[in-house]
Structure 1
Amino acid sequence: MSDELLSGGDLEDALARLSRWGIPGRMEGMKDLLERLRSAKQRRAQRHDLSTAFDQLKEKLEEVKRLEREGLERRRSTPAPNEQMRQAMERLAQERLGQLDALPEDFGRAVRALKDYEFVEPKAAEKYQELLKELQQQVLGSYFKNMRDSLKNLSPEQLERTRQMIRDLNRALKERMEGGEPDFEAFQRQYPELAGSAKDWDDLLRQLAQGMAAMRSLWQSMSPDMRSQLEELLGTAFADPGLQAAMNELADTLSQLMPMESYEHGMSGDEPVSLAEALGLMDEMNQISDMEDVVRSARASGDLDPLDPDQVERLAGPGARQSLEQLQKMIELLEEAGLIRKDGERYELTPRGIRKIGQRSLEEIFATLKRDAFGSHRSRSRG
């Protein structure tokens, strides 16, 4: 900081420049913190392959088709009590096998087409329902992150509870938009799986908005072909009109109450990810992007308080946390050392700080004289 003041800047400018650039070899600045965040996001982008997000689900679809084909062939080859029943089974098998052969190559459209297919093999029908249930779990789990555990093995009763929960949430948020004060604690007691970890309505809204933003980012980061498949999958998994309407209403309400930025993330790695992992990855990268925005804004405002050190460490590593904490404590340490104090809205040097700067100035002058003494010529004067 002394260097900054020696160059003629005032204290506020010196503090701002110190925060922005740090002290080489001794303290990182906002520029370094921003680079750490960028690197954390880039590592994720260069590691994962978004095009594999449907691969696990595709394998499950292939299993459904295989089980149905095997069931049809088994029934086809089983001796019938009479010729009429044999011919009927043959016609049924040919019809169903033809329908399976005619399924679209596009994964999403194939899943949707099977929605109206009449399965002959019970195991195949069961596996198809499991596929749809897994889709529901992964998508709902991205929207309602706190509910991921409770959404496992999603039963019809749990799905109905989720539907009712979203309706109640929509009513509470609508009341809040109209100036009312819905009872958060009552909602939290009724739906602890969703609101249990939230401090208040704002905290819950922030969590929900992050989930919605992750889905939007996934959509934006996908190729047009994958977007089409995802659209088909979501339409099939959430064919329930009541649930779909409630989710749409919640999305509209959140966009008004808690608008949250979603980002497009280019992925260039080769490590496979499931749909659930892809949504989690989008959420992490969105959070890092939000942190980058805070740091960029702090270049002007100096306010890094919105950044949570625990979150920074979780997403960008311990080095980023240390960098953040040093920046957050810089002013505090200077005040504790008695070098600066706040005068209204601005900081000023204390008498002790002025003495330190004076000492630093003498050190600079002495260092200059010393360099000259060992330079190409000697000074004849002394003083």
Structure 2
Amino acid sequence: MDEVRRRERRVRYGPYLDGPDPLAPPFDVRAAMEEIGRDVMEGASPRQALQELLRRGHDGRRGLDDLTRQVWQRRRDLQRDNRLDGTLQELRELLQRALDAERAELARRDTDDARFREMQLDALPPDTGGAVRELDSYDWQSASAREAYEQIRDLLGRELLDQRFQGMKEALQNATPQDVERIREMLDDLNSLLANHAQGRATTEQFAGFMRRHGEFFPENPRTTDELIDLLAARAAAAQRMLNSMSARQRAELAELAQQAFGDPRLAQSLAQLDAQLQGLRPGEDWTGSGRFRGDNPLGMGEATRAMEELAQLDALAEQLAQSYPGARLEDVDLEALESLLGEQARVDAHRLAELEHELTRQGLFERAADGSLQLSPKALRRLGESALREVVDRIGGRRGERETRRAGAAGEPTGATRPWTFGDTEAWNVPRTLINAQLRRAGGDERRLDVTDVEIVETEQRSRAAVALLVDTSWSMVAEGRWLPMKRTALALHQLISTRFRGDDLSLIAFGRHAQTVELGELVGLDGAYAQGTNLHHALLLAGRHLRRHPDATPVVLVVTDGEPTAHLTPGGEALFDYPPSPYTIRATIGEVDRLTGQDAAFTFFVLGDDPRLAAFMDGVARRCGGRVVAPTLDGLGAEVVADYLRLRRR
């Protein structure tokens, strides 16, 4: 027992210090939602805001832009560092070695035959393909020259096969005639299989027999004829793109040299037949593309073909990461290809982004509008409102406790008494009284644990209500001067406060530019700035009056956020007339509506943004006339000033 206690005393717990916390969530959904909300309020659509978040990255993870940049860097490096004529260069070197050795041997012989042979060598075509063809029947006098020439044939065969069958260049090193014969048999069987498949015949048994006999040539182990065709067509198309990327002279040389592969032109013919069948079976592959390689590192034909395959993979990844096609999702990104080309960390970052996109959707933060577009859900708006309200509370500081109280609401203040619950009551339960009632009932023989007749609720007295109209200027100057986002966050904070703390109050959001309109919170959050002249405060006050008259028993509160003088008013016919400087008709119509609301005992506060002296003078005069206040907040303090003033006015 003592030993156990000593071991327990040696146990120490502390923070995890070896890298990121393994128990931490993979991403912060709330922070991601705030970033999306900020972009939406600045004018982006929810879809654009989500894509922008994924492009930027989140919570220390690289975004799609960084991954795409890495893809293009890899692509540039591949083309910048390499060139495609490695096989031609190696063949030229082998040919020159053979000719030099042969000429050295002939120079040692003082015979007419030696001189004749030297003349034959001098008369060879200047291009490598033509020279190799002419030397096909030449009787080499030098053993080293003959060996170099045979290496040319061997290299050509291995390179041609390596283009289409992975690992063949190494596997056929020092190939024997028997090896070459097995390859010809495989190609004949393969062309027969593809021909039958192209004609619509059943090839299941033929494919199984083919793989039993020639499976060693296909380490990828395709399971069906179609999988085999897909595999071969991708490589054949890459080989064709490699040829397309070379000059016409280089292509002609390779075409002529191919006839000398393994010293048997039938190999080139079988490969040409294979390519033709694959192109007919998979016309959707890229058979016409090309690439520009300008580096110093020469690639063999097989290596160059794989380089073209890698370029195609990189292009496909770039398209997947761009997410620019209809219905694009991060689940479309080929994570295995991403890891193969860019490393494990790239796969991890892309996977985390896909998880974040899925989680934002799963939590119901987006929803489809009637027109099919993506929009923020009420749940997302509540989260944005919570964030905006937290910022306001932090700025108010000393009044934090008052904002955080949960006693506020339509039900009013508790009186200390309770009463039985009746249908329609929304007041809180009195839990102790409810449980006592249940116990007394069970003591009388009723076995039910809890019944609706047991419930008693807290008796409250009705609190005063407020009808609030928040009038926000949406003219172009609000966008141009950087006031768009603070205005929207202010509306979010006030809406969140009223909907969660003062549910008995009724808030109307009214946006006014050339015209005014009553908007829902989601509409205001997603509202785009539009270039339209006019600040129609008169129309906004008309809508505010309509809202206040619907709640005659509530305290009327009018809060106006603007950065410009009234420059438009509504005619009796519903037309908005604009004039700058403000016309006397606009001023008269606006003041008349202020007077009408003042007669309804409405309390006014004007939040003046900017430093326009004409606007300040106008608002001072209006405030004196209606007994209201003028506040000139900073943009950062706008939300705090509006919320604090609302709380002050509703306690009147």
Q: Above 0.5 in TM-score? A: yes
Q: In the TM superposition, what whole-angstrom CA distance separates every residue of 1:23-75 from its partner, at most 9, and x where no partner exists?
A: 4785555444333221111011111233554222222112211222233234x
8 A contact 1:150–1:193 mirrored in 2: no
Matched, 1:188 2:205: no
TM superposition shift of 1:350: 7.0
1:150–1:270 distance in 2 versus 1, CA, 3 Å:
closer
- Residues 173-212 of structure 1: pairs in structure 2 closer than 5 A: 173-183=194-204, 184-200=207-223, 201-212=225-236
Matched, 1:309 2:335: yes
1:153–1:312 distance in 2 versus 1, CA, 3 Å:
farther
8 A contact 2:261–2:267 mirrored in 1: no
Q: Which runs of 5+ in 2 are unaligned?
A: 1-35, 396-485, 494-608, 610-631, 646-652
1:23–1:3 distance in 2 versus 1, CA, 3 Å:
farther
CA-based RMSD of the aligned residues comes to 3.6
8 A contact 1:339–1:352 mirrored in 2: yes
Among residues 288, 296, 300, which one is paired with 2:326 in the alignment?
Answer: 300
Matched, 1:58 2:92: yes
- Higher mean alpha-carbon deviation, 265-274 vs 24-33, is at 24-33
1:278–1:196 distance in 2 versus 1, CA, 3 Å:
closer
Q: Give the structure with higher Rg (CA).
A: 2
1:324–1:257 distance in 2 versus 1, CA, 3 Å:
farther
3-state SS, counterpart of residue 175 of structure 2: coil
Among residues 257, 260, 266, which one is paired with 2:292 in the alignment?
Answer: 266
Question: Which residue does 2:386 correspond to in 1?
Answer: 359
Matched, 1:155 2:143: no
3-state SS, counterpart of residue 171 of structure 2: coil
Q: Distance in 2 between matches of 1:268 and 1:251?
A: 27
Matched, 1:224 2:248: yes
TM superposition shift of 1:146: 4.8
- Ranked by relative contact order (alpha carbons within 8 Å, sequence separation 6 or more), the top structure is 1
1:304–1:98 distance in 2 versus 1, CA, 3 Å:
farther
Q: In the TM superposition, what whole-angstrom CA distance separates every residue of 1:129-176 from its partner, at most 9, and x where no partner exists?
A: 121111110111111115444333222212111111122112222222
8 A contact 1:5–1:11 mirrored in 2: yes
1:243–1:311 distance in 2 versus 1, CA, 3 Å:
same
Question: Which residue does 1:3 correspond to in 2?
Answer: 38
Q: Read off the aligned partner of 1:332 and give its amino acid letter.
A: H
- Higher mean alpha-carbon deviation, 207-216 vs 363-372, is at 363-372
Percent identity over the alignment is 27
Question: Which residue does 1:287 correspond to in 2?
Answer: 313
Q: Distance in 1 between matches of 2:286 and 2:41?
A: 42
1:174–1:356 distance in 2 versus 1, CA, 3 Å:
farther
8 A contact 1:132–1:236 mirrored in 2: yes
TM superposition shift of 1:311: 2.0
3-state SS, counterpart of residue 172 of structure 2: coil
Q: Read off the aligned partner of 2:89 and give its amino acid letter.
A: D
Question: Which residue does 2:140 correspond to in 1?
Answer: 119
Q: Read off the aligned partner of 1:54 and give its amino acid letter.
A: L
Among residues 79, 87, 102, which one is paired with 1:68 in the alignment?
Answer: 102
Q: Distance in 2 between matches of 1:373 and 1:310?
A: 54
Among residues 38, 46, 49, which one is paired with 2:72 in the alignment?
Answer: 38
Instruction: Judging by fraction of residues, say which structure has more helix.
Output: 1
TM superposition shift of 1:309: 2.0
8 A contact 1:49–1:267 mirrored in 2: yes
1:304–1:120 distance in 2 versus 1, CA, 3 Å:
farther
Q: Distance in 2 between matches of 1:195 and 1:339?
A: 47
For normalisation by structure 1, the TM-score amounts to 0.80
TM superposition shift of 1:214: 2.5
TM superposition shift of 1:225: 2.8
8 A contact 1:187–1:195 mirrored in 2: no
1:164–1:348 distance in 2 versus 1, CA, 3 Å:
farther
Q: In the TM superposition, what whole-angstrom CA distance separates every residue of 1:97-141 from its partner, at most 9, and x where no partner exists?
A: 111122233222222221232222333223211211111101111
8 A contact 2:165–2:218 mirrored in 1: no
1:174–1:49 distance in 2 versus 1, CA, 3 Å:
closer
Q: Distance in 2 between matches of 1:363 and 1:116?
A: 90
1:10–1:151 distance in 2 versus 1, CA, 3 Å:
same
Q: Distance in 1 between matches of 2:201 and 2:332?
A: 27
Among residues 248, 256, 261, which one is paired with 2:280 in the alignment?
Answer: 256
TM superposition shift of 1:355: 3.2
Q: Read off the aligned partner of 1:280 and give its amino acid letter.
A: R
Q: Distance in 1 between matches of 2:343 and 2:154?
A: 35
1:279–1:193 distance in 2 versus 1, CA, 3 Å:
same
- Residues 15-34 of structure 1: pairs in structure 2 closer than 5 A: 15-19=50-54, 21-23=55-57, 26-34=60-68
Question: Which residue does 1:49 correspond to in 2?
Answer: 83
Q: Which runs of 5+ in 1 are unaligned?
A: 78-89
Q: Read off the aligned partner of 2:386 and give its amino acid letter.
A: Q
Q: Distance in 2 between matches of 1:205 and 1:166?
A: 13
